[in-house]
Copies of this chain bind each other. A is one copy, B any other.
Amino acid sequence: MSHKYVYLFTEGNGSMRELLGGKGANLAEMARLGMPVPLGFTITTEACTRYYDDGKVIAEDIIAQIEENLAKIEEINGKKFGDSKNPLLVSVRSGSRASMPGMMDTILNLGLNEDVINGLISGNSDPGFERFVYDSYRRFIQMYSDVVMEVGKKYFEELIDKMKKGKGITNDIDLTASDLKTLAQQFKQEYKEKIGEDFPSNPKDQLMGAIKAVFRSWDNPRANVYRRMNNIPYSWGTAVNVQPMVYGNLNNKSGTGVAFTRDPATGEKALFGEYLINAQGEDVVAGIRTPNKIDKLADEMPNVYEEFVQIANKLEKHYKDMQDMEFTIENEKLYMLQTRNGKRTAAAALKIAVDFVDEGMIDEQEAVLRVEPKQLDSLLHPQFDPKALKNATPIGTGLAASPGAACGKIVFTAEDAKEWASRGEKVCLVRLETSPEDIEGMVSAQGILTVRGGMTSHAAVVARGMGTCCVSGCGEILMHEQEKYFELSGKRYNEGDYISLDGSTGKIYGEAVPTVEATISGDFSRFMKWADERRTLKVRTNADNPRDAAQAVKFGAEGIGLCRTEHMFFEGDRIKAIREMIVSKTVEERKKALAKILPLQQGDFEQMYRVLEGRPMTIRFLDPPLHEFVPAKDEEIKELADDMGISAQELKTVIEGLHESNPMMGHRGCRLAVTFPEIAEMQTTAVIKAALKVNAENNGYTVVPEIMIPLVGEVRELKFVKDIVVATADKLIKDSGAQLTYHVGTMIEIPRAAVTADEIAKEAEFFSFGTNDLTQMTFGFSRDDAGKFLESYYDTKIFESDPFERIDQNGVGKLVKMAVELGRRTRPDIKLGICGEHGGDPSSVEFCHNVGLNYVSCSPFRVPIARLAAAQAAIKDKKA
């Protein structure tokens, strides 16, 4: 017997999601539960995969199975496909394992042709019936042409408009049966012109065309983008559901509707939905008539309502989750066309999870699995007012770099952002790209928009740290930074004009879209407690200043996994001392400049220690190439040179000397400490002195600093720097007369560090995986440049997700695993963490759990996400 590619609804069940898709599995399950479902069949996801493997054709054996099952549903329903007396009409709908709005949705009324229509009309004397049939027919032609053959809708709409104009009417409803019949003819003519052949009249040809269209839609650009955003593998494929039509638009005893078992916006326990009498599904969506609230059905058709309520309750209990259902009523008979776990807002997800536990439907562990970690984001950031958003049209899209919504007046410089904000203006900072010097302006802005830079660009990373909305890398913008305006979608936007940014979708609006503040419910802490009780992975945060650290602690961070000391170097006047250090020509000059920085850096650490109250803090020593600290423009160089009392030419020569062809792989990280050991000495002094001081305050906690040496690729590099650290630290501790424990470890962010981790663990007390750089080096991708070709990589499906967002388990992950094993072999108690951007990505957190890390570290606003993701990973791990 050939492999089974087609299942009757009565052959499947709810657990067969992978094979039948969500829609198919749930239709089968409802049928199995004895609910009123028009009985059709599902063509499996395997058929879709085979379609692609076979070079985009449906194989003969699959066609045979489709025809076989078509015959079975003809028999079950007592109707025949293409029969002029008693025709079977069907809907064809896609349905993959995960719900995917990017794909083809539905074709209704498939099976209609001239013969069938004539038969139908001659067998029914109802005066409105002829019009109903022709209306169905022209809709079918239009839908089929659009969805299956990709003839744009607009051609058909133009024909309708022309017809209405000719007849002097404005509403579709005023078109007569004869008008619609004429339109159907015109539509077929249009089809022929565009496609070059007749509109298929054979229902089986129509069916095969529609099935192919569903398969094809799996690979359209929208679907690809959606999959990438939601981490759905291309290999899954989609199923196709073929189901006999029922008619909500047959008469006034018919109708159609959608309903949720709970309010998807708030989670409130109440049937929530709407319906339309005498309508098909698309009418509800089209919004021509205002649908009724679902409660009204209790008055209009009490029996149907009662039956629906019972079914809804039964489904929710059965699936133990809030259900989103579609139904149709034909002549007062209820048909269920779909059920699925309903999409919901983060607030609703939390409430429903907590309520389900209280109602005894699920246990706490199950509840923890019920909330999508990424959703938590929206609870922590302002969002657009949904009503206002409905009327706004985006003018462009960038990368959704840091979530939340922002609305403000455009400013083009960090200084302006700061100044405008200080006088109470809400501003959005628009820049080609941001640099560390823009920090204060970024803090003052509601949102940040950049032309260049990816998900891990400076703007993106810093904005996420602060919880500020950011859209990055909108390359469509024509920027005129000097002249203080930009062009987008052919329009000019000046300083002071309003824009609005959606950092969760990357959309940009050229107008003011009001926002609403984030609110956190009591359910949140209850829910997060359940999560925390289950996770084994600790969650730390990446924070470089007391503000971010305090925010993260509020969000449950258990320490700092990455404090980038260089970020401290930009505040206030200290950048001057840094620059003085950089242009120093002798060790003595450099030491003099470093001496100026020491007390400032020590002060920073003291503040951080106090905020953390004894929680661990991993302090990374100076990492970026030095050229990032010096100005690039002539006038700025002149200014700095004057400040420093040297000639502009001299300074320029120093700055040119710092130029590198590939700074990402240049003189940075521990390489700076090898060439300038005095920098490591100064930083060690600051770390240790601050710890000694704060410990001496007897605040009831003990500071145990963790010093992290970045960019190590060879154990002797680490040993060299560690020797400096230990010599400096031990002397300070000894001189102080106090006790102080500290640890020295390294980042694993160079491939060589991963493959020689056994060696490196001889010197490192801990590893922190710097998966941003590790991803760059392992792929040989500069994150600043990869934007140029990554789109092509998605289009060609070479990549299905951005390796900078979601850890590449096959490559980068393999190196991480290797390093974990090698590191533990040398030092069984080595502490292992991750501090790259991946630390806040749920699938990457799961990976970190599975390879056995001790903690993840992520930006403050991602801490709750990481906590939940870690809990889910632990639960899944326990189950498996």
Contacts and interface: CB of A to CB of B under 8 A. Distances in A.
Contacts of A785: 660-663, 665-667
B674 A793 contact: yes
B811 A714 contact: yes
A873 to B, nearest CB: 23
A756 B713 CA distance: 21
A796 B788 CA distance: 40
Contacts of A671: 789, 792
Contacts of A674: 789, 792-793, 796, 798
Contacts of A665: 662, 664-665, 776, 780-782, 785
A245 to B, nearest CB: 41
A756 B809 CA distance: 11
Interface in A619-675: 660-667, 671, 674-675
A716 B798 contact: yes
A780 B815 contact: no
A810 interface: yes
Interface in A204-218: none
Contact of A780 (B711, B779, B812): B711
Given A752-B812, A756-B814, A814-B755, A663 B666 contact: no
Contacts of A814: 755-756
Nearest to A818: B755
Interface residues of A, number: 50
A778 interface: yes
B792 A755 contact: no
Contact of A789 (B675, B776, B798): B675
Contacts of A799: 714, 716
Interface string A807-851: 010111011001000000000000000000000000000000000
A765 interface: no
A415 interface: no
A510 to B, nearest CB: 24
A717 B798 contact: yes
A785 B797 CA distance: 34
Contacts of A707: none
A751 interface: yes
A715 to B, nearest CB: 9
A226 to B, nearest CB: 20
A789 B676 CA distance: 10
A750 interface: yes
Contacts of A714: 779, 798-799, 811
A541 B779 CA distance: 28
Contacts of A777: 751, 777-778, 780
A29 interface: no
A720 interface: yes
Contacts of A782: 660-666
B780 A750 contact: yes
A773 interface: yes
A366 interface: no
A772 to B, nearest CB: 12
Contacts of A675: 788-789, 792
A779 B713 contact: yes
B798 A752 contact: no
A784 interface: yes
Interface in A733-787: 749-752, 755-756, 759, 773, 776-782, 784-786
A535 to B, nearest CB: 29
Contacts of A773: 780
A584 to B, nearest CB: 16
A812 B811 CA distance: 16
A660 B785 CA distance: 6
A751 B776 contact: no
Q: Which of A665, A784, A792 has the most CB of B within 10 A?
A: A665
A788 B666 contact: yes
A688 B751 CA distance: 37
Contacts of A751: 751, 777-778, 780, 811, 815
A792 to B, nearest CB: 4
Given A671-B789, A674-B796, 12 more contacts: A662-B662, A665-B781, A667-B789, A674-B793, A713-B780, A713-B781, A714-B811, A716-B798, A720-B796, A749-B780, A752-B812, A777-B780
6 contacts: A666-B786, A713-B811, A720-B796, A755-B778, A756-B810, A777-B778
In order of increasing CB-CB distance, the 7 nearest A-B pairs are A662-B782, A665-B782, A752-B811, A666-B785, A661-B784, A751-B751, A660-B785
